[in-house]
Amino acid sequence: MEARNLYGAVGKAQGLAARPARRRSKQDLVGYLFILPVVVFFCAFILYPLVYSIRLSLFEWTGYTKDMLFVGFRNYTDVIANWVFWTTVKNTLIFALALALVQTSIALILAIVLDSKLFGREVFKVIFFTPVLVSIAVVSLLWGRIFEPNFGLLNGILNSLGLSSLTRAWLGDSSVALYAVVAVSAWTGFGYSMVLLLAGLQDIGEDFKDAAKIDGATDLGVIRFITIPLLRPVIALVLTLTLIGGLKVFEIIYVMTSGGPNHATESVSTLLYYEAFRFNRMGMASATAVFLLIGTVVISLVQRRLMESEALA
């Protein structure tokens, strides 16, 4: 957004058209040379695979033999007719929405508390950001152990608090497994959201808040009527970033549950991975990938449009 506007302004101001044609084409060439490597990488590893993916979705193919059978849109109709696909769509949406809400709410509360002159503020910030750095592979394995039903930490703590009735196989019980994964995901990500929100809070500045306080507003009043409304664009950004990240969820599910029990935690991404690399159905997997692509791009575009209108308003 910002990039485009700036460029437009610069380009017009310098008056490209006024230059002699030969100099212009030489100048063009220099520019193209500088961006060439990035463009080559883009074409080879993003654009071409994208087109290839769409092409593959029209074929029936194991990925290992030479014979690819053209089947038109049958893969798409097969995907739509498969209940597992719809389960994964539902799971992915629940995951993304729950994650966005939980993670952003926790992050917002912490950011508001930390925005005051709290004792140990910097230390807390560093602590909250630590899970962001640890690889998802490690996080998933660690939490898999914490959720372990017989000697995992969570059930152990519940037992010692006399809450044995709440203990369960957190990842083996299809009614809670997805939310357990959401919780772990929020654990790794809330520090990140919090730092973004804190940056937004610091931009608001003390003047507004002080003015409101002099006018007799309470602390909660300031938060409700000054901080939150002014922070809305940043809150929207954090919500949508988490939401879109959530739609792509793969690693944490792959490592913690492999999509189980009985597809209760299967996401669209894990489904497409298993279709391709476990069941060797490249066509079906590619059609699933195309659905995932369309879904995330549409949601991203809607988000951008909303953010732009927010910025204009």
Partner 1 sequence: MSISSQAGVRAAARPAHKPGRVARRVLGFLVVAVVAIVCLIPFWYLLVMSLTRQQDTFVVLLLPKSFQWSNYIVAWNKANLTVLFRNSLAVTINALLLTLLISSLAAYGFARLKFRGSAIILNVLLLAIMVPGQTLLIPLFLNMKALHLLDTLYSLILCYTAFGMITATFILTGFFRGVPQELLDQAKIDGCSHWDIYARIMMPLARPAIATVTIFLFLSYWNELILALTFIQNDGRKTVPLGMVHFSGQYKIEYGQMAAALVWATIPVLIIYIVLQKQFIKGLTAGALKA
| Interface with partner 1 in residues 103-122 (CB under 8 A) | 106, 109-110, 113-114, 116-119
Cβ count within 10 A of residue 270: 23
Please give the single-letter amino acid code of residue 86.
Answer: W
Q: Which value, in Å, is the radius of gyration of the alpha carbons in the chain?
A: 25
Q: Give dist(CA 172, CA 258) in Å, integer.
A: 11
Nearer to partner 1 by Cβ, of 94 and 146: the residue is 146
Interaction between residue 3 and partner 1 (CB under 8 A): yes
Among the residue ranges 79-87, 91-99, 146-154, 168-176, the one whose residues contact partner 1 (CB under 8 A): 146-154
Asked if 239 and 100 touch (Cβ cutoff 8 Å), the reply is yes
Half-sphere exposure of 168 (CA within 13 A, CB side): 11
**What is the nearest approach in angstroms of partner 1 to the Cβ of residue 223?**
10
Half-sphere exposure of 256 (CA within 13 A, CB side): 34
Query: Across-strand partners of 116?
Result: none
**What is the nearest approach in angstroms of partner 1 to the Cβ of residue 22?**
14
Q: Give dist(CA 161, CA 183) in Å, integer.
A: 21
How close are the terminal C-alpha atoms of the chain, in Å? 15
Of the candidate residues 171, 235, 241, 264, the single one contacting partner 1 (CB under 8 A): 241
Among the residue ranges 65-73, 75-83, 90-98, 267-275, the one whose residues contact partner 1 (CB under 8 A): 267-275
Interaction between residue 253 and partner 1 (CB under 8 A): no
Interaction between residue 302 and partner 1 (CB under 8 A): no
Interaction between residue 166 and partner 1 (CB under 8 A): no
Nearer to partner 1 by Cβ, of 150 and 175: the residue is 150
Footprint on residues 71-90 left by partner 1 (CB under 8 A): none
Interaction between residue 228 and partner 1 (CB under 8 A): no
Composition of the chain by helix, strand, coil, percent to 5:
75, 0, 20
Interaction between residue 179 and partner 1 (CB under 8 A): no
Identify the CA nearest to 187 among candidates 245, 103, 96: 103
Interaction between residue 129 and partner 1 (CB under 8 A): yes
Nearer to partner 1 by Cβ, of 87 and 286: the residue is 286
**What is the nearest approach in angstroms of partner 1 to the Cβ of residue 72?**
19
